[in-house]
Amino acid sequence: MHEEDVERGPLDGVRVVDLTTSLGAYTGRLLSDLGADVVRVDLDGDRLPRPGVFTEAGKARVTAGRAGLEDLLGTAQILLTSEGPAALRARDLHPEDVVRRHLGLVHVSVSPYGLTGPYADRPASDLTLLAAGGLLALAGDPDREPVRPWGEQSTVIAGAHAAVAALLALLTLEATGRGQVVDLSAQEAVAHSLENAVQCLDLEGVLRNRAGSGPLEAGTGLFRCADGWIYLVGGLGGRPLAWSAITEWLLDNGITEAEALRDERWGERSWRRSPDAATEFRSMFERFAVHRTKDELYEDGQRRGISIAPVATPADLLANPQLTERGFFREVTVDGRDLVFPGPPYRFAGSRVGPRSTPDRSGTDEGITA
């Protein structure tokens, strides 16, 4: 196999025209990671807000007029937009019009609320989309206002869903030669990503609400140790997990009061989920853990069949031997800046996938040809 073949990704030969705002920009980045030729287009006199460098890696950037854009769409398989139907209609980019002009084009329309319905043209932000999709109701302390998670989480959620939908539409395009409209609602993507809220209601009849940062039951949650934090799962759904192993672990290391954990009340759901039980267990466990590192606790706990994991910091990840061996982090150049990016969580034999540097051919639409 030639070296140039290894550099080609699964979407080599696929061109994507990217007209998104920050809401849909992650979709183009994911398609670029897979080898697509993603071209971000700034329309003359109609420049959209520029997303951050994380979503722009691997994308060429050109400025084009209407005629230049239509020429580009004639060479592309996928168009990405991220505005509501009225704004798209005003730009002559409503999907119904675009696919009529370009029969072999997949128009992936990422928008706040979808292309139809009473909210279709409502303005939106990350905060309002997380609220409208239900995720905000799960974040924060139960007795306080909801808290927005850090970062533009709705754009990541919508972008990942849109990338999967784009790939499915691309398969149809290859089989039939006909394009189609993919209508991706960010509100629905968020509502599709509510952690285990649906399973809690389905399996336990429990309607999840905000739980705060504290433990839901004794033995489960974050615990302080010598160099940071570990996450321990000593119970789930009110039932103890590896409880005898945890008790023996503490006793073997001189925490004599752990003998009390053998009392039958620690098997009772109501006691295990009480604040007093959580506090009593934390006092014992952290007295043991505070003298041990994350790695020591992880290795020892795993040997004993206990579900435990170190809480890795960004510095921990950069030095992680497993990630280093697999070449997870990549150095790429975006907009003239040399940056370290996390790589893809997947591999393809014989193909190089993941974040790429900005192609050295950005400029005007005259530089982009079929």
pLDDT of 322: 94
For residue 110, pLDDT beyond 90: yes
Residues 126/190, Cβ–Cβ less than 8 Å: no
10 Å Cβ neighbour count for 206?
12
Which of 251, 125, 280, 101 has its CA nearest to residue 179?
101
Rounded to the nearest integer, the mean pLDDT of the chain is 91
Burial of 342 (0-12, 13-18, 19+ CB in 10 A): middle
Q: Three-class SS of residue 173?
A: helix
pLDDT digits (tens, 9 = 90+) for 221-231: 999 999 999 99
φ, ψ of residue 39 in degrees (nearest 5): -115, 110
For residue 254, pLDDT beyond 80: yes
Q: Three-class SS of residue 279?
A: helix
What is the C-alpha to C-alpha distance for residues 107 and 22, in angstroms, rounded to an integer? 17
pLDDT digits (tens, 9 = 90+) for 33-56: 999 999 999 887 666 666 788 999
* Predicted structure pTM score: 0.86
What does the pLDDT average to over 363-370?
51
In 58-152, which residue ranges form alpha helices assigned H by DSSP?
66-75, 85-90, 95-101, 126-133
Which residues have a Cβ under 8 Å from the Cβ of 155 and sit 6 or more positions away? 22, 23, 24, 25, 26, 126, 186
Confidence of residue 264 (pLDDT cuts 50, 70, 90): very high
pLDDT of 362: 55
pLDDT digits (tens, 9 = 90+) for 176-206: 999 999 999 999 999 999 888 888 888 888 8
pLDDT of 6: 54
Please state the three-class secondary structure of 118-165 as a single string. CCCCCCCCHHHHHHHHCHHHHCCCCCCCCCCCCCCHHHHHHHHHHHHH
